[in-house]
Amino acid sequence: MTSILVHVDQLPTAFRTAPMPRHRVDARQWNQAGEALAAGELTLLGLWAHGATVHMALLDQAANRIGIVSLGNRRGSFPSIGRLHAPAIRLERTIADMSGLEPEDAPDSRPWLDHGRWGVSHPLGKLETSWAKAKPYPFLPVEGESLHQIPVGPVHAGIIEPGHFRFTAQGETVVRLEARLGYVHKGIEKLIQGGDLERGMTLAGRTSGDSTVACQWAYAQAVEAALAVKVPARALYIRAIMAELERLANHLGDFGAICNDAAFAMMLAQAGVLRENVLRAADTCFGHRFMRDCVVPGGVSRDLTAEGVATLQALVAAIRERFPKLVALYDNTASLLDRTVATGYLKPELARQFGAGGFVGRASGRDFDVRRNLAYAPYDELAFEVPARDDGDVNARVWIRIEEIRQSLSLIGQCLVSLPDGPVRAEIPVAGEPREGIGLVEGFRGDILVWLALDAKGRIARCHLRDPSWFQWPLLEAVIEDNIVADFPLCNKSFNCSYSGHDL
């Protein structure tokens, strides 16, 4: 056991109620952390830079503890973690693009989010005007007999987000997929810098539109921890209701869409109706179909009325009645299972190594859910199960989602019954000193991390938003290997990574 583990010392009871400490480490300890990650003793939660310092968030999954280690100014560079632990590679390429800090001996020194089109370089570091023209991106070389390449994107055929996929195929079989992302990079972390808490909330809610509740909740958690704000119980329950509605809507939509990508359009039609019912109920209760800007630092901006409770109870009852029929239809349609079973297999070792969150991890043996492992209120008071299995194919991911839909229905039901009375929003104080806090929320895709540094006036010095997709996109490239090109949409939809959440 390496001594670095002593720095991974924060239990949820601590970091969820108080500012998040950081441990300053030297290069030797930094490398030790990299070795502990490579050995599987720790899981990488995030890696980002603030000024000339690099921060790394680590999870000790066995002990349910987290920690942040920081490596200070080393004249513009830091020892690469990616050279020891592959999941860090893209995060380091991003640090180099955004902050201009170079990972030493990094295995991949290509730019990642910076396509050479911003007109500036290192927007989060020493911002410099850049006159360089966009250069062609060097994709990894592929060698072998009778290989051909299929470039796809950034503009895709369907209604989906932009990204580029470079397939190398031998006949029908994919031998390598390499993704190039960053097309929807909007500079969110720079836009937040120097802003007030409200600006941060607005932008956090627009990093990935499908996870707006989860992102804003994670952001609110970071603010509340940094300033030690006690959120009223009623607000916590309403947040959970909204978060589970969001999970429900996304899982229902994707369940239909996955089947549709296997040419079973009827499921899309059926599940689409249920999804629309969820969104309409959300609109009725909270005034917005995606419940955007409803979670605010200190609580929620909309209370749930008695009629709202009744609307949601009716919704839950209706889905409980209807959904099992769709599940039976899925389970009894051999032509559909023929497409989903054994397709897009993700090895449990990879899921563990990358710390894959959500249904991607849980379908490949990584039994982790922030709501349980790093519990936050009100989930510590609610009863739910975390489904997990290890068969790792498209079918397994579908089943995890089916189970999670059931769990979400149960959770919403529980919250409605035991909804506490009282206020729904607490005051946000000004600390008068710099503060830092962390937020970790289980979105429908997996764990969303928000790290926030506030200055003495309460303005945002740095806000880092890490979408679960960071650790899932690379795995998509692994699972498509040896599958046929035509199964890519199916594999892709079964992951449903966020482009915008990743590109920021």
Our finding on whether 139 is near another protein (CB under 8 A) is no
191 conformational bin, left if phi > 0, alpha if psi -120 to 50, beta if neither: alpha
Query: Which is closer to another protein, CB of 28 or CB of 135?
Result: 135
| C-alpha–C-alpha distance, residues 444 and 188, integer Å | 21
**Which residue minimizes CB distance to ligand SF4?**
206
Peptide bond into 154 cis (omega under 30): yes
The entry of another protein, ligand SF4, none near residue 498 (CB within 5 to 8 angstroms by kind) is another protein
- Total residues binding ligand SF4 (CB under 6 A): 2
We find the least distance from the C-beta atom of residue 377 to another protein, in angstroms, to be 27
Our finding on whether 187 is near ligand SF4 (CB under 6 A) is no
Pairing of strands 102-104, 77-79: parallel
Our finding on whether 132 is near another protein (CB under 8 A) is no
Our finding on whether 426 is near another protein (CB under 8 A) is no
Q: Which residue has the tokens 């009725």?
A: 284
State the sign of the Cα–Cα–Cα–Cα dihedral 266, 278, 376, 459: positive
Interface region with another protein, contact rule CB under 8 A, candidates 37-45, 51-59, 114-122, 341-349: 114-122
Our finding on whether 115 is near ligand SF4 (CB under 6 A) is no
Task: Read off the DSSP letter of residue 302.
Answer: S
Task: Read off the DSSP letter of residue 376.
Answer: -
Chain positions 199 to 218 lying near ligand SF4, rule: CB under 6 A, are 206, 209
Measured in whole angstroms, the distance separating CA 323 from the mean position of its chain's CA atoms is 26
State the sign of the Cα–Cα–Cα–Cα dihedral 123, 127, 129, 135: negative
We find the least distance from the C-beta atom of residue 230 to another protein, in angstroms, to be 29
Name the token pair of 434. 């710099």
Relative orientation angle of helices 265-286 and 233-261, to the nearest 10 degrees:
160
Our finding on whether 289 is near ligand SF4 (CB under 6 A) is no
When binding is defined by CB under 8 A, the residue of 38, 309, 318, 329 that contacts another protein is 329
Our finding on whether 306 is near another protein (CB under 8 A) is no
What is the CB neighbour count within 10 angstroms for residue 504?
Answer: 24
Task: Read off the DSSP letter of residue 438.
Answer: E
We find the least distance from the C-beta atom of residue 316 to another protein, in angstroms, to be 19
State the binding string over 482-501 for another protein (x if CB under 8 A, else -). Answer: ----------------xxx-
Is residue 426 within 8 A of residue 229, CB to CB? The reply is yes
Our finding on whether 162 is near ligand SF4 (CB under 6 A) is no
User: Reduced to 3 DSSP states, what percent helix, strand and coil does the chain have, rounded to the nearest 5?
Assistant: 45, 15, 40
We find the least distance from the C-beta atom of residue 232 to another protein, in angstroms, to be 27
Binding interface with another protein (CB under 8 A): 115, 117-120, 123, 127, 154-155, 157-162, 182-188, 190-191, 202-203, 206-210, 212, 253, 266, 269-270, 272-273, 275-276, 279, 289-290, 292, 325, 329, 332-333, 498-500
Binding interface with ligand SF4 (CB under 6 A): 206, 209
